Amino acid sequence: MPIYRLWRERDNATFECDAQNPEQAVSTFSRKLGVALTLDEGPAAPHYMRALVPTDIHWGNKFDIPVYEARPRSK
C-alpha cells in the first residue's frame, strides 16, 4: 500500500499514512488532524502539501500536491 506524507506550512510538521489512493490519504489526514481537507482548490492558498513517499531509493520526496482546507480557519 502506498505511503503518503503531508506537510503543514504553519509549523513545518509532517504526517504520514498508508492509503490506497490520494483521496483516502486526504480523508485519513483530515481525521488525524481534525481539519476538513480536500484536494479541490479552495478559496485560500493551500496550507498543506502532499507527497507520495517513494518506495524506490532513487526517487525524490517532493511535496508537490496542494491540499486545501475545506473550511478555512477564522483569523
- The reply to whether 34 falls in a domain is yes
What is the extent of the structural domain holding 7? 3-69
- The reply to whether 49 falls in a domain is yes
pLDDT in tens, 10-38: 899 999 999 998 899 999 999 999 999 98
- The reply to whether 21 falls in a domain is yes
Alpha-carbon distance of 5 to 24, in angstroms, equals 12
Cβ atoms of residues 17 and 53 within 8 Å: no
Kindly state the cell numbers that stand for 64.
508537490
pLDDT in tens, 42-55: 666 678 877 777 66
- 3-class DSSP state for residue 17? strand
Task: Give the number of domains in the chain.
Answer: 1
Query: The whole model's pTM is what?
Result: 0.75
Q: Identify the residue whose cell numbers are 489526514.
A: 29
